[in-house]
Amino acid sequence: MSSQTFISDLQNHFTDKYKLSIIKKSNSNIDSSVSIIIREINTNFEILFIKRTTKDSDKFSGHMAFPGGVKEPYDSDSLSTAHRETKEEIGLDSKLNCDLLGRFSDYKPVNPEANKFIVTPFIFYLKNPNVKLVKCKDEVDALVWIPINFLIEALTKSTRIGTKYDKPYKDNVFEYKGYKIWGMTGKMLYAFLTEIKDYHT
């Protein structure tokens, strides 16, 4: 599988075939965006995750996540938010260094303290896999690239069922070298991998 074939397949899929799910917003919602960033290195494709810095002011403190954050009044749209937050958090100019492959479906946390957030993910391909990333220490504790083939192999074992906030709860958990992806990011990752796995052969 060449990078050109895989990436073009993804771009075509999210442009022409993917059924985008958009959450209807109200004035009480907080818009935010994240970046699902893919690179090819040593013939393997990987997805970038951040481990958020632990701090009391962050509702997702210490979690594994995609780079991203809250939309500001000066952001023209959700994509602008993704570009800005990616640059602020990991020092990557995604406009310059990435190809936009498409938009993924909106997500909403189930955590009662955070369920006003509506998260819009965008999918990017990093054209230069060796571009230097610089983490914002106030927001990012670690940058973690995880091979897509590892994540796809973990799909069938990732589902976790239990009770949370006094309700039945299902999410997906992925563990890699001591890092654990779960919650909204785990569910988003599961859906994304399920959507692309047939192209990654």
Q: Which domains occur in the chain, in start order? A: 3-196 (3.90.79.10)
- What's the pLDDT tens digit per position in 178-201? 999 999 999 999 999 999 999 987
The alpha carbon dihedral of 115, 185, 122, 87 has a sign of: positive
Q: What is the pLDDT of residues 122-171, one digit of tens each?
A: 999 999 999 999 999 999 999 999 999 999 999 999 999 987 777 778 88
- DSSP character string of 112-148: TTTTTEEEEEEEEEES-TT------TTTEEEEEEEEH
* Global model pTM greater than 0.85: yes
